[in-house]
Structure 1
Amino acid sequence: MESSEAASRTLSEAELEAVRERHKSLIGDVAQNSAAVEMRLRGMMIALLDSKYAGIIAAGQSASDLVENCIALMQANQEIGDAARERGLELLRSLKPLFAQRNNVVHAPWFPSMREDALTEAVSLVSKRRSPIRPMLVNYAEVEKLSAALNQAIGSIWEWTHGELGAAAKRPQVN
């Protein structure tokens, strides 16, 4: 167990700068991976729509809208087998909590302390529509897990789309 002196040690300027850089790196990793997931979701929606105009319809939709629209399209598509549909729906549903976490990580400001706990966590001020700002503890290891889960989803979405929808995933689009 750590002594209270060690737990309350003030970080040096170099350590504080390292903390700030880690924040930027973690946020950047989550933002980059979530953008790639969004791109894959857009590709999935395009393949599910299977129309030369699908790219226009999918363009500009938020990740949440893409997930919901892909779920609806997957449920309605009679050409997808039951097992494939269940795998696809499970994959899409697993993204919802990841994007909720992503929003808290990317859109809320982080405030590390000047103490040693800043090496592993920070306080984030989350603001949701029509509700007061609430502080949340941001654990860096959890943010790394979120980034890894988003990174894994990139491949999973691609594999499902190209494995289950095949040619529809390669259909030419209107430009």
Structure 2
Amino acid sequence: MDELIPTQPSAPDLPSLSDSRALAEVMGYMVREAAELEYHLRGLCSALIGSKYAAVVVAGQSVSWLIETSLAIAAVRDEMEEYYLDELKEILQRTKKAFATRNALVHGLWGSDSQGHFVNNSKLRTLELRELDFSADDVDELWSEMTRCQELIHTWLHDIIPHEVGNEVILRHEKRQQQLMEHDPIDQILPE
């Protein structure tokens, strides 16, 4: 009689809860590092533009826009030697690849099976789904690559166009100083 009672199929071996928590933790660190790398890209693009007003131009722009614009401006700058341009292209290609992986992980649909974690992403304007297997170690590696890209951008800027570093923050700083001068806090404390 027991043969007639359907049995519940056994659940696949899923990654442990501690593995899932470790993955979520390292994802948080990677996302934070991606934001820092994006900040460096804005600084790079601002420095290449060569004006404190570049902060307005680069504000809110996508990573792909920042990369493409940086390359376009670097290619036409008078002092840019071919070697330095090639070096920048290599750095920005690494950065672009890191962000493509980041986007797949952040915007994809996560799943787990007996093999580990995976993410599914749809491909623009198609029915195709792309699946990417990954682990907490893979995300940790991506986090490290993003850190390395920041270091490469920082070093390149300081070696090639150090006089332009900081353009993005100059205008913000000047406007903040102006606001502080217009609204002296001491006036708010002392009665007239």
Instruction: Give the TM-score of the pair, scaled to structure 2.
Output: 0.74
Deviation at 1:105, TM superposition (A): 1.2
Question: Any conservation in 2 of the 1:112–1:122 contact (CA below 8 Å)?
Answer: yes
Q: Based on CA coordinates, which of the two structures has the bigger radius of gyration?
A: 2
CA distance in 2, matches of 1:134, 1:91: 26
**Partner of 2:118: helix, strand, or coil?**
strand
Question: Any conservation in 2 of the 1:46–1:58 contact (CA below 8 Å)?
Answer: yes
**Partner of 1:112: helix, strand, or coil?**
strand
The amino acid that maps onto 1:55 is: A
Deviation at 1:149, TM superposition (A): 0.8
Which stretches of structure 1, 4 residues or more, deviate above 6 A after TM superposition?
Answer: none
Deviation at 1:168, TM superposition (A): 0.9
Instruction: Give the number of aligned pairs.
Output: 160
Tell me the residue number matched to 2:69: 69
Tell me the residue number matched to 1:110: 110
CA distance in 1, matches of 2:93, 2:130: 26
The amino acid that maps onto 2:171 is: Q
**Partner of 1:135: helix, strand, or coil?**
strand
Deviation at 1:139, TM superposition (A): 3.7
CA distance in 1, matches of 2:88, 2:130: 34
Q: In structure 2, list runs of 5 or more residues that go unmatched.
A: 1-10, 176-192
Whether 2:112 is the aligned partner of 1:129: answer no
CA distance in 2, matches of 1:86, 1:160: 11
Tell me the residue number matched to 1:18: 18
Q: In structure 1, list runs of 5 or more residues that go unmatched.
A: 1-7
Deviation at 1:9, TM superposition (A): 7.6
Residues 111 and 39 (structure 1), Cα distance of their counterparts in 2 relative to 1, 3 Å cut: same
Tell me the residue number matched to 1:158: 154
Root-mean-square deviation (Å): 2.1
Question: Any conservation in 2 of the 1:46–1:55 contact (CA below 8 Å)?
Answer: yes
Question: Any conservation in 2 of the 1:74–1:89 contact (CA below 8 Å)?
Answer: no
What does residue range 1-175 of structure 1 map to in structure 2 within 5 Å?
A: 10=13, 16-113=16-113, 115=114, 117=115, 121-132=116-127, 133-171=129-167, 172-173=170-171, 175=175
Instruction: Give the TM-score of the pair, scaled to structure 1.
Output: 0.81
Question: Any conservation in 1 of the 2:42–2:58 contact (CA below 8 Å)?
Answer: yes
Question: Any conservation in 1 of the 2:23–2:135 contact (CA below 8 Å)?
Answer: no
Once the two structures are aligned, what percentage of the paired residues are identical?
26
Question: Any conservation in 1 of the 2:43–2:166 contact (CA below 8 Å)?
Answer: no
